[in-house]
Structure formats: C-alpha cells, structure tokens
Amino acid sequence: MKYSFAKSIEQLESSAVRDILKLTQGSDVISFAGGLPAEEFFPVEAVKQAYIKLLDSGKNALQYGLTDGYLPLREQICQRLASKNIHVGPENMILTTGSQQALDLLGRVYLEQGDVILVENPTYLAALQSFRSYGVRVVAVESDNDGMNLEDLQAKIKAHRPKLIYVVPTFSNPAGRVWSTERRLGLLKACKMNDILLLEDDPYGEIKFDDQAEYPPIISLDDHPADSPVVYLSTFSKTVAPAMRTGWAVADKRVIQAIGKAKQAADLHSSSIDQQALYYLLGDFNLDEHIVKIRHNYKARMQLMNDLLAEKNLPEVKWTKPAGGMFFWVEVSPQVHTEQLLKMAIKEGVAFVPGTPFFAETPLTNTLRLNYTHTDEETMREGMNRFAKAMNQYLTAHV
C-alpha cells in the first residue's frame, strides 16, 4: 500500500520533548526533560474518593456529555477564576482535553494558510508544532525577562499584519519569564487597536513561589469577555493531575461557539467522567491548600537545582532563577551545541531538552531546558552530577 499523507502532516516535526521521554522510558536515565509534576504530590486519595462518589451517583455518570463540558464544573472554574479578576460565565468557557487541545482547536477555527502569528522567542514548542500544521508563518518578537519588546512588537505588527499573537506571560515555557504589567497592558492595547486575537496560555500561573506576588492574567486587565481580543487557556494538569486531561478556554461567546463546532468534529466532547470527578473533587477537597503545598515543595526543588548549577561551576553557564513554574532555561558556552551535548548526556544517564526547537526563528543552539519539579533531592543531585560530567566531557572533546 502506498500511503499518501497530507502535506501538512509530512511537514510536521515530532515533539522533541515527547521523543526524549520515549527514549528515557523504562531506562535508568534521570530525566530533566519533561514538564512533569511530581507524582508524590498527586492527591490520589481525594481523586479516588471523587470517582467513587461519582460512580455511586448512578449510571448516568457514564453517559455522553455536552461538547462545551460538564456545566457544574464550568461553573466551579468560573468561581475560581473570579479570584483572579476574571469574571465570566459558563457560556464563555469550553472544557477541552488539556489546554493543548484548546490551542489546536483555536488554530483550526481561526487560522488559514499564509496567516502570520507573532510569538515570544523562545516559546512553547508544542504551540509552534500546532500552528505550523495549519500552514501559517510564525514570526518571533524580540523578548527579554519582562516579556515582548513593545517597540519590536509594533514594528512586527506593521510589517506582517498578524492574525494572532501567542504568549505565555506567567512563568513561560521554556524561559520561565514573568511579564511586567506594563508589557501585558502594552500587548493588550496593541491587539485591541489592530484587531489581533491574543492567545494567552496560563498553565503555570498558580505555581508561584511568592504566595503574596500578583501576576495578573492579561484577560483580567481587559473589559472581558465580550468583544475582548483575549482567549485565555488554562488546565488542571499542573495542579491536580495531568492524566485527567482537563483544560479550558475562556473567550467571547462567538469564539467559544466556533471552537465548539470544531470540537464536535474532533471528539464530540472530552472525557465526561473525568470532568464529573473533578467537580466532586473541587467540592470536597481543598485545592487551594494543595496548591500551596506543591508551591512550597517545588520552590525547594528549584532552589536545590539553582544551588547545584552554581556548585558545578561550569564555564560560561548562565541562567535566571525562576519565580515560579517548572523550568530552568540555561545558556551554556557558545561553543556547545546542546543537541550534540544531549547524546553525551544520555550515555551518562541524564536527559534534558535542547533549546533549538523552542525558537520560532534563529535558534540559540547553546541553550537547554531543565525541569526541576519531577525529581526528588537524591535523584536531582545524581542527575546534576551526570549533567556536569557530560558537559565537561563535551568541552574536553570539542573545545
């Protein structure tokens, strides 16, 4: 059989993170590659009791559900969002199979071949993968630790007339950046003035290491949701459990209705049993206390990795200590190509993600991403020893 796949899928590259995870699965390789939360902090008993309560409620719990998602859960999420100054109703929300599906469905309903999207540089590689599958051109905006450079943003808007701008303004993946309020407002203003859809991805916003710090979602700075240019995405994957695959999109009703049509064609609806279980979980379990717990534990792991990076005293290695989220973004000697370094690291029994696939344009080949949330202290110490050994071997062989 000669298979004739669509050009869009033939041009689509596999996810670097997924490939590395596959490579390390079932081996003794210590992986800092995936954006994985720590299993030991999953609320296993609470999740178990939520499913038991749901299944005890009757056979209807196993029936088909609404495309927009389980209404009582949408109402609960709306109540939680109000604490972030995001005041919406369930009609402005659709539940999806993780926020990744919402990102992909929005591309399906809003993007056409040849459209231009603006992104941070670097940015979330799975977003790049999804957008490119629709035949769009992705253009990078100059970015620093405070977010997009607003002057370059204006220049790129004028030059390219983008259809959509995609950002992760709070603990960005991979760079861990936290946008200033000035940059958030500047981007919002630019999108409103130029009728550009703004896709705000916020999977990590609740994993902040200063409990008192405020990082306002961009949508909270707008008169939302009617006529807002902002589509806001988030998920339970980082705060409850990724296996439940429940995320959401919030936007103007017209945007939600369009996403709903695409979702009907894709999968009818996301797992209704998981959504109902989450509803019971949120009713009986103090999720806010749980989030504080994982914040404090992840902060300790972040501090340990920060200290270990400093202790190894590797030449020309730079990083910014993250204020939240799940990643260190590391820049090593310009003479190091991290895709080649990864091969040495795997032989030493440690994995990371090279930085190259996170760039929309002109990749810095001497960059890499390290996850600190998934490994305990003993494993992290050993993994960083292996990383340092691989780095020193590379430098000896290539410099």
Let me know if residue 1 belongs to a domain. no
Mean pLDDT rounded to a whole number for the chain: 94
Work out the average pLDDT over 189-209: 98
Give the end of a domain, one of 284, 300, 333.
284
pLDDT at 286 > cutoff 90: yes
* CB-based burial label for 176 (10 Å; 0-12, 13-18, 19+): buried
Give the pLDDT score at 16.
58
pLDDT at 382: 98
Confidence of residue 150 (pLDDT cuts 50, 70, 90): very high
In whole angstroms, what is the distance from residue 49 CA to residue 4 CA?
A: 48
Same domain, 110 and 143: yes
Q: Is the Cα dihedral 145, 150, 156, 162 positive or negative?
A: positive
200, containing H or E segment: strand 197-201
Question: Which range of residues forms the domain containing residue 334?
Answer: 7-42+289-398
Q: Which CATH number do you get for residue 336?
A: 3.90.1150.10
Q: Averaged over 337-356, what is the pLDDT? A: 95
Is pLDDT of 27 > 80?
no
Backbone angles phi, psi at 159, to 5 degrees: -75, -35
State how far the Cα of 114 lies from the Cα of 137, in Å rounded to an integer.
6
pLDDT number for residue 265: 96
Say yes or no: 230 and 350 in one domain.
no
160 phi and psi angles, rounded to 5 deg: -115, -10
**Mean pLDDT, residues 199-222 taken together:** 96
Query: Do 31 and 65 share a domain, yes or no?
Result: no
| pLDDT on residue 10 | 64
**Does residue 223 surpass a pLDDT of 90?**
no
- Amino acid 3: pLDDT: 79
Determine the pLDDT at residue 18: 57
Distance CA 325, CA 331 (A): 18
71-81 average pLDDT score:
98
Residue 17 pLDDT exceeds 90: no
Instruction: Please spell the DSSP secondary structure of 57-114, one letter per residue.
Output: T-GGGGS---TT--HHHHHHHHHHHHTTT----GGGEEEEEHHHHHHHHHHHHH--TT
CA distance linking residue 356 with residue 25, whole number of Å: 22
Would you state the pLDDT for residue 389? Answer: 96
Residue 7 banded pLDDT, cuts 50, 70, 90: confident
pTM: 0.94
In the chain, the number of structural domains is 2
Average of per-residue pLDDT across 126-133 = 94
Q: Are residues 136 and 244 in the same domain?
A: yes
| Whether 33 and 69 share a structural domain | no
Please indicate, yes or no, if residue 2 is contained in any of the structural domains.
Answer: no
* 150 within 8 A of 190, measured Cβ to Cβ: yes
Same domain, 342 and 391: yes
Question: In angstroms, rounded to a whole number, what is the distance separating the alpha carbons of residues 79 and 287?
Answer: 13
β 327-331/318-319 pair status = antiparallel
- Is residue 11's pLDDT more than 80? no
CA distance 69 to 104: 17
- Residue ending a domain, among 284, 319, 345, is 284
Q: What is the CATH number of the domain that holds 187?
A: 3.40.640.10
> Band of the pLDDT at 68, cuts 50, 70, 90?
very high
Band of residue 383 on the pLDDT scale cut at 50, 70, 90? very high
Q: Give 299-328 pLDDT, tens digit per residue.
A: 999 999 999 999 998 999 999 999 999 999
In this prediction, residues 363-387 reach a mean pLDDT of 97
The answer to which of 20-24, 108-112, 273-277, 311-315 has the lowest mean pLDDT is 20-24
- Band of pLDDT at residue 14, cut at 50, 70 and 90: low
